[in-house]
Amino acid sequence: MKTSFLLIALMMSAVNMPFAAQLPGDILIKNGYIMPLKPGSKDLPDHDILIHEGQIAAVGTHLPAAGRKVINARGKFVLPGFVDTHSHLWVTTMRGQFRNRDGKFFPVSNQLGARMQPDDIYIAMYSGAVELLSGGITSSGDFFDNIKGPAWGDVGLKALKDSGIRAVMYYGGPDKTTKSPIDMDHLLSLAQQQKPDDRVKLGLGWRLPRELKDEQNWAMRQKEFRLAKQHNLPVQVHVSGDADAMFNALIKRNFLNSSLTVVHATDATQQQLIALKKSGGSLALTPISEQRVGYGLTRLDHFSTLTRKGLGIDGNALAGSGDMFATLRLAALTLSGATKDETQPDARQLLELATWHGADTLGLSAVTGSLEQGKRADIQIIDPDALNMSGFGGGDPAALILYSARPENVTTVIVDGHIIKQDGHMQNPDEGLLKRKANESARRLLSTSE
Ligand SMILES: [Zn+2]
């Protein structure tokens, strides 16, 4: 036990990023093409954004630069950071293992996940979050369902905090079997320590009984759900596999409410979606992983009834990479292909889905998801000065961003007023060290799993 704590301490000191230490002074983003992405809002060409104490203090023109750190955004697109509504960052160090020979996602992640020690969790979640940030994702709803003891929960929370990302950590159980209870005492003790303006918040990573007739298991699940509700913790739950029966059970047993986010529900009936809408609940769709594991095609038009919905990565390793542009593109192409209609979807609506609606899905729309005065400064700047974005003569850049942009075109990332990436470079992490630690952990998991 002592050795493992020493290892964690060493690893943490090695890759520690002191983003939370102190805020820089005022930041002025100057002369950018501002896309606020609040539904109904208009783009603001050649505008400035003033960031004061981590908050968007003003959006305007000719804001004075004196005494402020100036980021020149001329010729660049300034957007809210993307919101990844559902992920499992702890599987990051299993990249390339699903369908590596005959391995499938669930058995492989169960097998390797069982071997993970807290230091493996830390590096997976930390490096996964840094990857998200690097590609303009500033918030993540991270479903952490590999918590084998308090030390696992603690390092996961620390990894998210250290990375600089905004997150809700949905505290889950020790595995995906749903046999064991979630450590509600530990979750509640962590939740009690959180402050209203903490960047990383806690939620419950809840699961339904695998056997839906198992009333004993339901009693355990009901207790977890009730406790989360009592303490105002948001809840996420997967609806996949026996999805139709699971969704019906959620409705019948009265679990739908405004702090619940249903994940996947690929083939949900309109009746089920209407019940979710009426409850005020939300939906997280993860097009790449849903199609990869064979849940079906994620057709956005199928979910048009719901306004509270967003997109998610569902684990960088399962999606291949933590890339919201690729996620958006797959969602867009699936829809135009399935409807045989080139005008589906609207590019701007899709960008809003990955920003404003994503924040709304996680209950964070008062804090993030759009560029407007009073919100926390979660911002990405996309520089189209790259071969894959060149040849754009002007007009609405939404389609250019949707169909052409890639994570490497995101040159600046700001979270909660902290500059995480600037001029194309991540400010803090030693990427070489991070890759080495992630590869070492991945090799260790593989070598001990036979
Ligand atoms: Zn998931």
**pLDDT digit string, tens, across residues 329-343:** 999 999 999 999 999
Query: What is the 88 CA–ligand 1 centroid distance (Å)?
Result: 6
Distance CA 23, CA 32 (A): 23
Query: What is the 290 CA–ligand 1 centroid distance (Å)?
Result: 9
Q: Are 163 and 130 in contact (CB under 8 A)?
A: yes
Which domains, and CATH codes, for the chain? 27-80+377-426 (2.30.40.10), 82-361 (3.20.20.140)
Query: pLDDT tens-digit profile of 34-76?
Result: 999 999 999 999 999 999 999 999 999 999 999 999 999 999 9
Query: pLDDT tens-digit profile of 94-150?
Result: 999 988 877 888 889 999 999 999 999 999 999 999 999 999 999 999 999 999 999
Query: What is the 175 CA–ligand 1 centroid distance (Å)?
Result: 12
Q: How confident is the model at residue 420 (pLDDT cuts 50, 70, 90)?
A: very high
Unique residue bearing structure tokens 């005008």: 343
% the chain with pLDDT above 90:
88
Query: What is the 309 CA–ligand 1 centroid distance (Å)?
Result: 15
Please check the confidence at residue 4 and state whether its pLDDT lies above 80.
no
Query: pLDDT tens-digit profile of 304-330?
Result: 999 999 999 999 999 999 999 999 999
Query: What is the 86 CA–ligand 1 centroid distance (Å)?
Result: 6
Please check the confidence at residue 449 and state whether its pLDDT lies above 60.
no
Tokens (6 digits) for 185: 């005492």
Distance CA 54, CA 158 (A): 21
**pLDDT score, position 160:** 97
Query: What is the 382 CA–ligand 1 centroid distance (Å)?
Result: 28
Distance CA 295, CA 119 (A): 32
Average pLDDT over residues 268-297: 97
**pLDDT score, position 10:** 45
Q: Are 354 and 324 in contact (CB under 8 A)?
A: yes
Query: What is the 423 CA–ligand 1 centroid distance (Å)?
Result: 33
**pLDDT score, position 388:** 98
Distance CA 431, CA 15 (A): 9
> Which of 120-124, 216-220, 311-315, 446-450 shows the lowest per-residue confidence on average (mean pLDDT)?
446-450
Query: What is the 236 CA–ligand 1 centroid distance (Å)?
Result: 9
**pLDDT score, position 99:** 86
Query: What is the 104 CA–ligand 1 centroid distance (Å)?
Result: 15
Q: How confident is the model at residue 408 (pLDDT cuts 50, 70, 90)?
A: very high
Please check the confidence at residue 21 and state whether its pLDDT lies above 80.
no
Query: What is the 101 CA–ligand 1 centroid distance (Å)?
Result: 23
Query: pLDDT tens-digit profile of 225-236?
Result: 999 999 999 999
**pLDDT score, position 105:** 87
Q: How confident is the model at residue 2 (pLDDT cuts 50, 70, 90)?
A: very low
Query: What is the 167 CA–ligand 1 centroid distance (Å)?
Result: 15
Query: What is the 263 CA–ligand 1 centroid distance (Å)?
Result: 7
Q: Regarding predicted confidence, which is higher, 431 or 399?
A: 399
**pLDDT score, position 7:** 44
Please check the confidence at residue 387 and state whether its pLDDT lies above 90.
yes
Please check the confidence at residue 247 and state whether its pLDDT lies above 80.
yes
**pLDDT score, position 106:** 87
Dihedral angle, C-alpha 217, 219, 221, 225, nearest 10 °: 180
Distance CA 208, CA 248 (A): 12
Dihedral angle, C-alpha 142, 148, 154, 157, nearest 10 °: -10
**pLDDT score, position 23:** 66
Query: What is the 10 CA–ligand 1 centroid distance (Å)?
Result: 30
Query: What is the 428 CA–ligand 1 centroid distance (Å)?
Result: 29
Mean pLDDT of all residues belonging to the chain: 93
